[in-house]
Every structure is written in structure tokens, then in C-alpha cells.
Homo-oligomer: A and B are copies of this chain.
Amino acid sequence: MVNDSLHGLVEQRLRQVCQRYTNGRREVVELLARAGYPVSIGDIAELAPRLPRSSAYRHLVNLQQAGVVRRVSGNDEFSRFELAEEITEHHHHLVCTHCGKVIDVTPTKAFEEAMNKYLASLAASHGFASDDHRLDILGSCSTCRAPQPQL
């Protein structure tokens, strides 16, 4: 969903930290919105070859500070980035342990409520105040599970 309200929201958030919504930043935001899954710097270089690396990194940092972008750690050593949940919605990740692909999944409300309740008590019993959670499902995607056509 690459709608117009998205850009309004992003601009507003950037303003709150005295930053402008420039073309480069807009390009990153649109790329993330279009992708719909956590994107690595390599992905960004492919999807937006004209965007210099140093700028891409900086835009990601700025957008993170504005609460627009979130860093996601997958199973490999590369950082991935996606729009923050306040911009899209709360969700979890399916991570393929073979090819590293990450896709988003939205849980049911019932599951989330049960989970949050449980996690709060678990955290409290260790002196933590729980704000949020991160749930990744590790497995193998259909492509990696398919019989190899040739090898």
C-alpha cells in the first residue's frame, strides 16, 4: 500500500526532529513501502542504483531517528530495514534459514492479546517492563523446499 497518507505521515515525523522530507528520503520510503518486506542495503542498491550508498545509509539512520524506519536482524550478518510498525502495522517475520528470505506475517488479534498478557508477566517476574516484542518464525520457504530441478 503506497498511498499518499504515508508520505504525509513521514513528513510530519521528520519535521518533529527538524528534518526535511527530501527526494532521497522519499525514494527510500517508497522503496520500503513497495517492497513490503525487510530490505537489505544490497536490495536497496539493486532497487535504486542511482542512490549513493553513503546517502542510503544516512537516510536510513535519519528515518530511524524519526521513528519511520526500523532495523530488523535476520539470520545472516546483514542488517535489513522496514517501515516502523507505527507506520504500517504490528507483524512478525517468517525467516527462511536456507536462503535468508524474510517475509511479513500479520498475527490475529487474539493471538497478540494472549501473547502480550503472557509476556508482560514473564518480563515482570524478571524485573523487566515489557514494551514490545519481536517474534520470528524460522523455517524453509516453498522455493527452498521444492525439489531441485537440476543439480
Contacts and interface: CB of A to CB of B under 8 A. Distances in A.
Interface of A: 73-74, 77, 79, 92, 94, 96-97, 103, 105, 107, 111, 114-115, 118-119, 122-123, 126-142, 145
A133 B123 contact: no
A118 B94 CA distance: 13
Contacts of A139: 123, 128-132
Nearest to A139: B130
A55 to B, nearest CB: 20
Question: How many identical chains are in the complex?
Answer: 2
A135 B138 contact: no
Contact of A137 (B74, B123, B145): B123
20 contacts: A73-B74, A92-B122, A94-B123, A94-B126, A97-B131, A105-B122, A107-B118, A123-B137, A127-B142, A128-B139, A128-B142, A129-B139, A130-B137, A130-B138, A130-B139, A131-B138, A133-B135, A133-B136, A133-B137, A134-B136
A73 B105 CA distance: 20
B131 A103 contact: no
A137 B94 CA distance: 17
A81 to B, nearest CB: 13
Contact of A140 (B128, B133, B137, B142): B128
Q: Which of A114, A128, A136, A145 has the most CB of B within 10 A?
A: A128
Contact of A126 (B103, B128, B133): B103
B107 A122 contact: yes
